[in-house]
Amino acid sequence: MKKSRTSGTTGEAPASTAEPPGRAAPQAPGVTVRAPDSPAEETFAAAAAAFMAGRDAQVRSDLQFEDVPAPKRLAPYATAIAATVQRDDADIAWGRLVLLYDPDGQQGWEGSFRLVAYIRAEVEPEIAADPLLGEVGWSWLSEALDTHVPGYAVPSGTITRVITEGFGAKRDELPLTGFELRASWSPTGPGGPWGSTGPGPGTSDLDTLDLSAHIAAWCDCLSAAAGLEPPGTRALRQPGCG
């Protein structure tokens, strides 16, 4: 029986608030309660473990990983990682990679999983003005994915040039120019997107998706944006410049 505020010392709930036998207590607005150990929870738990193992496998001196909260409104299940690139004790690039899981899939996913990437980096003004920045910046991601992952579907994204100017108390600060990449894609096995002919992958199929390979691709893209030019990508600037 559900406990509620009582009068006196009897410990009994007033008749008007007691729950009838066999009826579940009402849920608070906006709260979704999932059955414990449901197939979806088991699949996501395995995927999240593989995702974090992929992060831990990246032994790279140029990247500093950190834990960040995952967005809550994009899918029923989500987890995220972030990394910073430093040079001479200064942060020159930062990125976040989010793993989304929806057992029912979503429009445009072609599967149950979706990866969402964000990368920002400082670049020299002449590079920010380069008309090829968008094309080359997108190639950092596409070439890294082609190099590392077994398959991916429905890639989508944008490249943004950023100019930051100071005013008022910050008027003496030099303008900063930057690069931002926002992208998403669906991890797939070598044979094509999951969900095209049936339900999404279960826990036994996660090895086929190879989420750790997608993390490696994202790390390569982040390094390229920072000018480190990892294998399989093109950098707009060389290390040590700027």
Per-residue confidence at 87, pLDDT binned at 50, 70, 90? confident
Tokens standing for residue 40: 């979806």
CA–CA dist 111, 185 (Å, integer) = 10
Helix (H, G, I), strand (E, B) or coil at 139: helix
CA–CA dist 224, 159 (Å, integer) = 14
Tokens standing for residue 22: 């066999």
Q: Which pLDDT belongs to residue 161?
A: 82
Q: What is the pLDDT of residues 200-225, one digit of tens each?
A: 454 447 778 899 999 999 999 998 88
Per-residue confidence at 111, pLDDT binned at 50, 70, 90? confident
In order of 138, 221, 223, the CA distances from 87 in angstroms are 23, 17, 12
Per-residue confidence at 165, pLDDT binned at 50, 70, 90? low
Per-residue confidence at 228, pLDDT binned at 50, 70, 90? low
